[in-house]
């Protein structure tokens, strides 16, 4: 009888943790909508009845957050202080901007190093998708925690 009660207790404590994993999967879907206007992606057959004041307030809220930064992750693909570091960093910036449309590229100089970072990701899991494809081209790439721009 004690064994049965112990098994039931174990199952009852394990079920909430399984539900927590479902919640995590829902959070991953949220990143697909980053940078998109929710009012512009609603499909055909769906209508939203709202006053122009509400729509205007939403657009104002989005515009007011445009310059804000929040803690997140980026992928550092280049970090060097060599003689040709500036030229290499410019070349990498142009390549990534042309190849990965919609992904922001940041080239910075902190004496004596030139750095090229890619993306504005809220979580490390979001950054891993792009990191895996960039790792083939830039084997020294790594994920860094940094202040990121507010999603557009």
Can you give the pTM of this predicted structure? 0.59
CATH number, position 75: 3.30.70.1070
* Assigned domain for 36 exists: no
* Assigned domain for 93 exists: yes
Which among 106, 51, 113, 60 is positioned nearest to 85, based on CA atoms? 113
Q: What is the pLDDT of residue 22?
A: 43
Give me 70's structure tokens: 């929040």
Rounded Cα–Cα distance for residues 55 and 94 (Å): 37
In this predicted structure, the answer to whether residue 25 has a pLDDT above a threshold of 80 is no
Give how many domains the chain has, as a whole number: 1
* Assigned domain for 11 exists: no
In this predicted structure, the answer to whether residue 56 has a pLDDT above a threshold of 80 is yes
Domain with 91, as residue range(s), is 69-149
Strands across the sheet with 105-110, in order? 105-110, 113-121, 69-80, 142-149
Q: What is the pLDDT of residue 32?
A: 56
């Amino acid at each position: 009888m004690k064994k049965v009660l112990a098994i039931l207790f174990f199952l009852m404590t394990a079920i909430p943790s399984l539900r927590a994993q479902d919640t995590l999967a829902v959070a991953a879907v949220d990143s697909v909508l980053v940078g998109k206007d929710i009012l512009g992606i609603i499909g055909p057959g769906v209508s939203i009845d709202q006053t122009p004041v509400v729509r205007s307030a939403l657009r104002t809220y989005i515009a007011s957050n445009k310059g804000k930064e929040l803690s997140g992750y980026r992928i550092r693909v280049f970090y060097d202080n060599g003689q040709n570091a500036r030229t290499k960093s410019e070349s990498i910036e142009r390549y990534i901007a042309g190849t990965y449309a919609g992904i922001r590229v940041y080239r910075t100089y902190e004496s004596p190093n030139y750095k090229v970072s890619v993306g504005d990701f809220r979580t490390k899991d979001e950054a891993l998708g792009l990191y895996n494809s960039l790792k083939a081209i830039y084997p020294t790439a790594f994920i860094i925690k940094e202040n990121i721009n507010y999603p557009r």
